[in-house]
């Protein structure tokens, strides 16, 4: 599955210079983000539970992230986890394992859908599902988001397992979205597009003028957290 719009760019920005550094793309999928890391001239490694989709010629290992990550202790300078943790049954074990494979002073960047945004809370109010965790997300044909994880829980786990939080940000600020499908007629698509665009503009104004200090949590689409191993 691909990441939400703007996520890759923000993660690369937070990673900074990786030239010559050992970097793990944890949950690499088909390797879309891995390729961007390779272009930054790092010593790139990758792992994922699915091995058949990954075609890049770099060190790759099969990994079940509910269990042990198959790399040595204190091996990586930087670890990236782009929209992985919400797929897992055991988030605590995953964070603990990321700590184990990261060097002291090493950096990690972790992302996950922001279920505490106004958009997600409104969706839960009217449908009993958080944004990114609708019924269609489950099963083989969905994105298989099974663990809506609160910001406070992520921070608790990171600090519990030896990380210092450096920065918390988001890929983009976005308002409530009305969904349509390719089967819908042109009029419905146009109306929904206009409503979504106006909603995004309205939310951006709110985030800048009324709630600037809490704009990441209230309006951010994906939470992105950078941390250092103590």
**pLDDT tens per residue, range 111-128:** 998 877 777 667 667 766
Categorize the per-residue pLDDT at 227 as very low, low, confident or very high, splitting at 50, 70 and 90: very high
Is pLDDT above 60 for 137?
no
Please tell me the distance from the alpha carbon of residue 38 to that of residue 217, in angstroms, as a whole number: 31
Nearest partner of 28 among 73, 68, 59, 6, judged by Cα? 59
pLDDT in tens, 68-103: 999 999 999 999 999 888 878 888 999 999 999 999
pTM flag (> 0.85)? no
Give one word for 9, left, alpha or beta, with left for phi > 0 and alpha for psi -120 to 50: alpha
Rounded mean pLDDT, 60-73: 94
Residues 8 and 33: beta-carbon distance below 8 Å: yes
pLDDT for res 202: 74
Residues 6+ apart with CB under 8 A from 37: 12, 18, 23, 25, 44, 80
Q: Return the domain boundaries, the chain.
A: 7-117+129-173+220-229
Residue 191 CB neighbour total at 10 angstroms:
13
Please tell me the distance from the alpha carbon of residue 210 to that of residue 158, in angstroms, as a whole number: 30
Compare 160 and 5 and report the one with higher pLDDT: 160
- Asked if CATH classification 3.40.50.150 holds for the domain at 7-117+129-173+220-229, the reply, yes or no, is yes
Tell me the three state secondary structure of residue 55. Answer: coil
Tell me the three state secondary structure of residue 89. Answer: coil
pLDDT for res 187: 87
pLDDT in tens, 145-201: 666 788 889 999 999 999 999 999 988 766 556 666 677 888 888 888 887 788 777
């Amino acid at each position: 599955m691909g990441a939400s719009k703007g996520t890759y760019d923000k993660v690369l920005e937070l990673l900074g210079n990786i030239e010559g550094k050992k970097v793990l793309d944890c949950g690499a999928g088909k390797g879309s983000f891995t390729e961007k890391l390779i272009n930054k001239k790092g010593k790139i490694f990758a792992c994922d539970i699915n091995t058949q989709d990954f075609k890049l010629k770099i060190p790759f290992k099969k990994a079940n992230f509910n269990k042990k990550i198959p790399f040595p202790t204190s091996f990586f300078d930087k670890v990236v986890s782009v929209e992985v943790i919400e797929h897992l049954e055991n988030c605590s074990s995953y964070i603990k394992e990321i700590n184990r494979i990261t060097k002291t002073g090493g950096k990690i960047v972790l992302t996950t859908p922001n279920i505490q945004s106004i958009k997600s809370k409104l969706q839960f109010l009217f449908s009993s599902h958080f944004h990114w965790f609708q019924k269609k997300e489950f099963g083989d044909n969905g994105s298989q988001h099974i663990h809506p994880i609160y910001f406070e829980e992520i921070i608790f786990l990171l600090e519990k397992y030896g990380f210092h939080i450096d920065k918390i940000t988001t890929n983009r600020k976005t308002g409530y979205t009305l969904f349509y499908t390719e089967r819908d007629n042109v009029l419905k698509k146009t109306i929904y597009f206009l409503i979504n665009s106006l909603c995004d503009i309205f939310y951006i104004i709110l985030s800048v003028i009324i709630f600037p200090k809490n704009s990441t949590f209230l309006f951010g689409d994906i939470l992105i957290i950078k941390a250092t191993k103590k």
